[in-house]
Structure formats: C-alpha cells, structure tokens
Amino acid sequence: MSDLILVVEDEPKLAALVRDYLHAAGFRSEWLADGRQALERLKLGPMPAAVLLDVMLPGLDGLEVCRAVRAFSDVPILINSARVEELDRLLGLELGADDYVCKPFSPRELVARVKALLRRAQGRLAPASLVPMGGGFAVDEAGQRIVWREQPLALTPVEFRLLRQLLQQPGRVFERGQLLDLIHEDFRDVSDRVVDSHIKNIRRKLAAVDGDAVCIASVYGVGYRLDLT
C-alpha cells in the first residue's frame, strides 16, 4: 500500500492541486482544512507517513499544531506558508518541523521534498548499526540516530546532521557558514540565526540526558566547537 500523506490546507484549490501531484507520484492523501481537526486526527491515528502543514489555518495555526504534535510523535512535518519572513521560518524549524516551503511553491518541488523526508524517516526505522564515538556518543548512520550515554536523542534530521558533523571532529571550531550548509542541502539562503536555533535545541536535548553536561561550546564571532570529556 502506498504511503499516506496528510495535507492540512485551508485553500481548497491549492489542496486539490497538491493532492493531484501526490497521487501522480504514487502517494495516497487525506485532506483537512482546520488545524484543531488535524491535531485530533493525528492524536487518534493511524499516523500518516508525513504531514504537509499550512501555517495560516482556522481553529489552530500550523505552528501550534506542529508544537503539539512533537509532544507525541516524530512524524515528518513539512510546513508551507505565505509568510516568508525569517522569523517564521526560524520558529517553524525550532518547533520541530523537518522542512518548509514558501508559497507560491512548485508542486513538483513539494513532492520531491516529501520523498526526501520519507527517505530520512525510513532510515531512522532501519536496523541500528551504532558506531562508537568519543565521549559516550554512538552514531547510527543508516537510521539517522545518535545515542549518548546509552540514551537515544530525539533529533530532527537537521539536528542529526549538525551534531554528527561536530562529533566527527571534536575540538574543531566550525564556522556558522560551514554548519549552515548542512541545514539545507539545496543551499537555500537562510540566516545564521537558524544554526543558533538548532544548536540551542541540541543542547537542550543533551541536557535532558545529563543536566550538568555542556558539550557544545560557543566561539564568539565564529561558531561552535564540540568538547568531549
């Protein structure tokens, strides 16, 4: 059976267009136009393979839906919005979205991004092959997982790439621009602040395992360094 994509969009014509392209690519789709209804649908299940989530929704806006969903599921979420301001993109990713597209967007690009999200999600579900690193870390490349002190970290794909890069060369200072290249593999123009946001999230997740451990050091005016103890 083909993967089910939940389309949460309050513009019927746009939703129909997106669903047509999804169906042409071999996906099934389900459509909801209200944020609160979408949240209840995701709570009750069954969970779709991915969620295409608009920001401006009646009932509950997409950012709040994303925040609430991340409390109980790591389903891939792709946010789309007519808000192109940097703050909206930053906030969407900080709340746990895996990717975003800005309206107007190409339906073909949207489908390509959905396929990329599903490939990453399938990797996370693959049999674990942990490679030990220093400082009690281990990396599962195929599953896009990082384990620290025997505790798996709930990382988004972007956070996984950033922490993996830091782990590969502990003690090295990475400039923000170098880390920025890891965030969006298509080299979209995003602010350095996005790196800071993701590093903040990684630190928070590390602190949840050991509240006294601070592994990622800020190098003023340059970037970040991973110090292993």
Angstrom distances, CA of residue 78 to CA of 1, 4, 127:
22, 14, 25
> Is the pLDDT score of 9 beyond 90?
yes
Which amino acid belongs to residue 36?
A: R
- 51 neighbors 8 (Cβ within 8 angstroms): yes
Q: Give the domains, in start order, of the chain with CATH numbers.
A: 4-124 (3.40.50.2300), 127-226 (1.10.10.10)
Q: What is the mean pLDDT of residues 56-61?
A: 92
The Cα–Cα gap between 189 and 21 comes to: 26
Q: Model confidence over 59-75: pLDDT tens digits?
A: 999 989 998 998 888 88
CB-CB contact of 160 with 120 (8 Å): no
Nearest-Å Rg of the Cα atoms of the chain is 18
CA dist., res. 89 & res. 101, Å (int): 9
Write down the pLDDT at residue 186.
Answer: 44
pTM, rounded to two decimals: 0.58
Residue 187 confidence (pLDDT)? 43
Taking CA atoms, 116 is separated from 119, 120, 121, 123, 216, in Å, by 5, 6, 9, 11, 28
Q: Say yes or no to pLDDT of 52 above 90.
A: yes
Q: What is the three-class DSSP state of 70? A: coil
Mean pLDDT of 108-123: 82
Residue 127's pLDDT is what?
Answer: 52
Instruction: State pLDDT tens for residues 172-221.
Output: 999 988 888 776 654 444 566 788 888 988 988 888 888 666 688 899 88
87/31: higher pLDDT: 31
Question: 148: alpha, beta or left, given left = phi > 0 and alpha = psi -120 to 50?
Answer: beta
Q: Given pLDDT bands bounded at 50, 70 and 90, which one contains residue 58?
A: very high
What is the rounded average pLDDT of the residues 87-94? Answer: 63
pLDDT tens digits for range 12-48: 999 999 999 999 999 999 999 999 999 999 988 888 9
CA-based nearest residue to 186, from 112, 121, 119: 112
Across the strands, what pairs with 137?
A: 148
| Confidence label for 117 from pLDDT (cuts 50, 70 and 90) | confident
Instruction: Give which of 116, 117, 46 is closest to 77, Cα–Cα.
Output: 117
Cα atoms in the 13 Å half-sphere on the side-chain side of 11:
13
Cα-based distances in Å from 94 to 69, 90, 119, 159, 206: 13, 6, 22, 10, 16
**pLDDT of 93:** 66
Q: Is the pLDDT of residue 6 over 90?
A: yes
Average pLDDT over residues 148-174: 87
Average pLDDT, the chain: 83
DSSP 48: P
